[in-house]
């Protein structure tokens, strides 16, 4: 089974933010242990006695908030880079699916529905490609706990049973699960990916994005893993 760990960056309600990002990292169930172990090695640099006391979250890491305030900017930024490098070094075993929406974009659905449609349908197409290669795999999405939990579950049921803009989801084993990010290194890694993408578009800062830019789902010379929905050019 493939797990799609999903998190978001940016705000749909803050008028001072121009972009909203939802991204997911796809990992086979057999690889999750190894990813968690590598992230614990990184976390142990900041708490040798109990690495699980350290939550690897992009915004507080870069800004030096909470448990990160006692570490230098250079140390904090390097930790983010080291986590993202795990994806870059996976040789395609960890794939990214992401939706980027600019404020003012003309969407046919609300922004949560649009974003979930994009990443879930693209992940489903990836599983379909594996099936065509003789690798029958089911998938399940795992989200950070948020106030969109019920709406996401309802969307998932609708997509699976009725369909969405691009068809019907056929390879999801169940509706999404929701975990506390504190308890999941993979959710934390999804957060770091969303944060890297957000800073690329919101702040024109590709410091982190350039590490993962070749890790979006890619097939037959075409990138499928990143969808960017901008506002009309004349919409100021």
User: pLDDT, tens digit, for every residue of 165-201?
Assistant: 445 556 766 667 788 888 899 999 999 999 999 999 9
Rounded Cα–Cα distance for residues 2 and 29 (Å): 6
Residue 180 DSSP one-character state: -
> Does 66 reside within a domain?
yes
Rounded Cα–Cα distance for residues 67 and 55 (Å): 8
Rounded Cα–Cα distance for residues 155 and 150 (Å): 9
User: pLDDT, tens digit, for every residue of 118-161?
Assistant: 888 899 889 989 888 888 888 888 888 765 545 665 655 554 55
CB-neighbour burial class of residue 72 (10 A; exposed 0-12, middle 13-18, buried 19+):
exposed
Global confidence as pTM: 0.90
| Number of domains forming the structure of the chain | 1
> Does 236 reside within a domain?
no
> Does 235 reside within a domain?
no
Strand order in 139-144's β-sheet? 177-179, 139-144, 2-9, 19-28, 95-102, 226-229
What pLDDT, on the 0 to 100 scale, is given for residue 212? Answer: 98
Rounded Cα–Cα distance for residues 217 and 123 (Å): 9
CATH code at position 30: 3.30.420.10
Rounded Cα–Cα distance for residues 143 and 1 (Å): 16
Domain span at residue 214?
A: 2-229
> Does 45 reside within a domain?
yes
Rounded Cα–Cα distance for residues 164 and 156 (Å): 10
> Does 78 reside within a domain?
yes
């Amino acid at each position: 089974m493939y797990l799609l760990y999903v998190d978001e960056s940016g705000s749909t309600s803050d008028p001072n933010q121009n972009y909203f990002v939802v991204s997911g990292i796809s990992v086979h169930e057999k690889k999750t242990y190894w990813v968690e172990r590598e992230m614990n090695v990184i976390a142990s640099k900041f708490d040798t006695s109990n690495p699980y006391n350290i939550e690897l979250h992009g915004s507080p890491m870069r800004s030096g908030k909470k448990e990160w305030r006692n570490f230098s900017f250079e140390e904090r930024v390097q930790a983010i880079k080291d986590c993202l490098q795990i994806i870059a070094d996976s040789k395609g075993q960890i794939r990214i699916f992401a939706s980027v929406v600019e404020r003012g974009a003309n969407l046919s659905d609300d922004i949560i529905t649009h974003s979930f449609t994009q990443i879930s349908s693209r992940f489903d197409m990836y599983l379909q490609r594996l099936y065509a290669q003789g690798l029958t795999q089911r998938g399940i999405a795992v989200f950070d706990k948020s106030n969109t939990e019920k709406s996401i579950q309802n969307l998932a049921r609708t997509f699976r049973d009725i369909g969405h803009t691009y068809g019907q989801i056929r390879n999801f084993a169940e509706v999404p699960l929701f975990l506390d990010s504190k308890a999941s290194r993979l959710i934390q890694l999804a957060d770091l990916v969303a944060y890297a993408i957000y800073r690329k578009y919101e702040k024109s800062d590709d410091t982190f994005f350039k590490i993962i830019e070749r890790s979006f789902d890619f097939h037959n010379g075409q990138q499928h893993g990143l969808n960017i929905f901008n506002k009309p050019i004349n919409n100021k």
